[in-house]
Structure 1
Amino acid sequence: MAPHQLTLSVVVISWNQCRFLQRLVEQLIAQEFDKNRFDIIVVDDGSTDGSREWLGSCDPSRVRSILGKEDRGRAASRNAGILASNRDVIVMIDGDHTINPDFLFIHAERHERERCVIVGKSDFVDHPDYRALNHYLNNGGAVKLPRNAKLPGRYFLTRNCSVPRDLLLSIGLFDESFRRWGGEDLDLGVRLEKSGVPIYGEPRALAVHHHLRPLDALLEQLYDFGVDAVPLLLSKHPQLYSEMKLDRIVARPGERVLCGRSGIFYIYRCLLCAAIYHSIRGLALLFRRRRLPRILFDYLHFRQYALGYLSALRRSG
């Protein structure tokens, strides 16, 4: 396909983010990119803050809106936007982000070079009370790998990415079984990796995330992710046992555990104990205005989804 023919649909999902959504849509309309080569599709998931009324006032030739029912989930919302598109590439971004004027140009440029999946950089907005946590979140995933390195599927993030639409259709879109926070992007990323189409990070395609979550709120979400999403992820992609380090706390179904592995299980399960967790969490909160070693947040992140997963195993009997 000739470069000038490539077209984009920007799929924005939003729930009760009217103030942020207005700013993002204005920035999309003002992009330094041919207006005939992209459209904007906003999928609202049952907002009650005036978002729907504002979307109704937008020029329908520039902004198409899909008004969904509350609580249908992020996967279903994204699928609705993808299916409403007839463009070549789907650019996905969440409604609480802001972007630079060349954002779409950079995404399009990468797809014109080769058939690929692009993960842009999504940085949390600077705030002194979130400095430690945001530094950790802003410097994980694709940032840890060399520029132009192929990314593993687990580094795929939907809050700033672009994927050929026909590729999304061919692998089955998002799995709408993931209804709560987390899991749907990891599942899709693994399936994209299996498709053989390379996934690349693109730090120039920067989006700034304005929804700041306190550490305790994030830790609660990670626990719920372990309860609700991780069992489904592991049933679909068994290799995630090792990639998520869960093979260090529990055997895979049907796996015979040797004596040495039992010792590893014991050590790692001790690390999940409340005393260690609350000590590390306390340090992260106390020094939240400083940059802290990544290992502290790595531990908190792992501990919460691992504990949630163990809870799910106990419930399932």
Structure 2
Amino acid sequence: MTDETPIASIIVPSYRGARRLPALLDSFAGQDGGTPAFEVIVVIDGVDDGSVALLAAEDRFPVCSIVFPENRGRVAALNAGFEAARGEVLIRCDDDLVPGDSYVAEHVAAHRDGDGGAIGLYLNQYDETAYSTVYGRAADKDFRASAYRAPEELRWRYWAGNCSITRAVWEKVGPYDPAYRLYGWEDVDYGYRIVRAGFPVTIAPSLETTHRVAAVTTESRARRAAHSGSARRIFEAEHGDAGLPSAIPPMSAWNLLVRASAVVTRAAGAARCGRVVDRLIRATAETVSRKLVALTVEGAALSGYRAPASAKEVF
């Protein structure tokens, strides 16, 4: 760290991130000339897989590490990083992102008109798997299109791992909610709390950032969907439905299949069902495969919502 007070602080929660961090650090080192002064705070969540030494050797920009002695989860990591930050613009950046050359400058510029929150959507990069071919890339494209169509009052729903706030927002909204311990909804919760506190949330195309996506199989995507469905219960207990669409799908031919899939998923487990589908889609027509994956993912989310599961049950 240097004595210069940074304009921006970049908070990076990291779990077993030694293989992902080099590309992220190289991206920060390659920021355009004239980029506002920034610091990087990496919170290592309970497992040092070489990340500490990697960060200690970094001398191209100010960086520090906060090391948890045991795994405490992403929310705890985020809160520790934000508490340590010194900048006026606080950027949350997941360790599997690959920011562009103007990443820091664009996040700072997003707040030049006042206090609030800014979202940059992911540009997901997928490994070549059957899942990504028949479902992942198309679903990602549909998600981004939906986000940009979202009305202003609902943009908070897209708060995720590439976003920023001003210090005034952090001081008023406070830390991420530790009730979210598994996967999902701690970000949506925070976006909602920003808006509820009276600050605007924007989605800026200039903040789109490459993301090396982790869910590259139906198995991993279904497991995350089940966790996310469970986590939505926490959100609703805190905030009600907050104007979100119902988690229980309305009656239709497709949604009857989703409801049936949720029953099967609950009995067999989301990950196990996902593994079966991953095997099937290697030898099934693409149109049918896409439906199978969608049915499994949507059924897993509904299963998790209806009967919140522990990590052991879902895995």
Q: Aligning the two structures, in what range does the TM-score lie when normalised by the shorter sequence?
A: 0.7 to 0.9
Native 8 Å contact 1:153 1:193 kept in 2: no
Counterpart contact for 2:94–2:162, Cα < 8 Å: yes
Output the amino acid matched with 1:192.
I
Residues 113/133 of structure 1: CA separation in 2 closer, same or farther (3 Å cut): farther
Cα distance in 2 between the residues matched to 1:287 and 1:187: 40
| Closer, same or farther: CA 58–291 of 1 in aligned 2, 3 Å | farther
* Deviation of 1:42 (Å): 0.8
**Candidates 244, 255, 259, aligned match of 1:272:** 259
CA drift at 1:225: 2.7
- After superposition, residues 121-136 of structure 1 pair within 5 angstroms as 121-129=121-129, 130-136=132-138
Counterpart of 1:25?
Answer: 25
Distance 2:189 2:249 in 1: 21
1:283 shift after superposition: 11
Corresponding residue to 1:223 among 218, 221, 226: 226
Judged with a 3 Å threshold, the aligned counterparts in structure 2 of structure 1 residues 113 and 21 are, in CA distance, closer, same or farther, namely: same
**3-state secondary structure, aligned to 2:121:** strand
SS at match of 2:152: coil
Q: What residue in structure 2 maps to residue 100 of structure 1?
A: 100
Asked if structure 2 preserves the Cα contact closer than 8 Å seen for 1:155 and 1:186, the reply is yes
Aligned length, in residue pairs: 293
> SS state of the match for residue 107, structure 1?
helix
Cα shift readout 1:280-312 (whole Å, capped 9, x = no counterpart): 957993599969999876654442222112123
- Specify which of 301, 305, 308 is matched with residue 304 of structure 2: 308
Match of residue 198 from structure 1: 200
The answer on whether the counterparts of 2:6 and 2:86 sit within 8 Å (CA) in structure 1 is no
Alignment partner for residue 189 of structure 1, among 181, 188, 191? Answer: 191
> Gaps (5+ residues) in structure 2?
266-272, 310-315
- Aligned AA for 1:226? G
Counterpart of 1:168 in structure 2 is 170
Q: Secondary structure at the match of 1:40?
A: strand
AA paired with 1:221? R
Matches within 5 A, 1:80-159: 80-129=80-129, 130-141=132-143, 143-146=145-148, 150=152, 152-159=154-161
Query: Structure 2: which amino acid aligns with 1:11?
Result: I
Matches of 1:32 and 1:290, distance apart in 2: 42
CA contact (8 A) 2:99 2:209 kept: yes
Moved more, 185-194 or 197-206: 197-206
Structure 1: which 5+ runs fail to align? 250-263
CA contact (8 A) 1:15 1:44 kept: yes
Separation of aligned partners in 1, 2:301 and 2:278: 18
**CA distance, structure 1, for counterparts of residue 42 and residue 186 of structure 2:** 19
Cα gap change, 1:70 to 1:10, in 2 (>3 Å): same
Is contact 1:132-1:287 (8 Å) kept?
A: no
Give the partner amino acid of 1:272. Answer: R
Contact map agreement 2:115 2:168 (CA 8 A) in 1: no
TM superposition score normalised by structure 2: 0.78
How far has the Cα of 1:39 moved from its partner? 0.9
Are residues 1:243 and 2:244 paired? Answer: yes
The CA deviation at 1:223 is: 1.1
Classify 1:276/1:245 alpha carbon distance in 2 versus 1 (closer, same or farther; 3 Å): same
> Which residue of 2 is the match for residue 212 of structure 1?
214
Measured in 2, the distance between the counterparts of 1:221 and 1:14 equals 18
Indicate if the aligned counterparts of 1:10 and 1:92 stay in contact, CA closer than 8 A: yes
In the TM superposition, what whole-angstrom CA distance separates every residue of 1:18-72 from its partner, at most 9, and x where no partner exists? 1220221121122115466211111111234211221222339611111113321
Q: 1:21 to 1:150 in 2, by over 3 A?
A: same
Please name the residue that 1:256 is paired with. none
| Contact 2:42/2:63 (8 A) holds in 1 | yes
1:285 aligns with 2:287: no
Specify whether residues 11 and 23 from structure 1 end up closer, same or farther in structure 2 by C-alpha distance, changes over 3 A only: same
1:61 and 1:29, CA in 2 relative to 1: closer, same or farther beyond 3 A?
Answer: closer
The whole-number CA distance in structure 1 between the counterparts of 2:203 and 2:259 is 32
Distance, in Å, in 2 between the alignment partners of 1:73 and 1:290 is 37
Letter of the structure 2 residue corresponding to residue 224 of structure 1: H
3-state SS of 1:200 partner: strand
TM-score (norm 1): 0.78
CA contact (8 A) 1:12 1:93 kept: yes
Deviation at 1:142, TM superposition (A): 5.2
Supply the distance in 1 between the matched residues of 2:213 and 2:47 (Cα, whole angstroms): 16
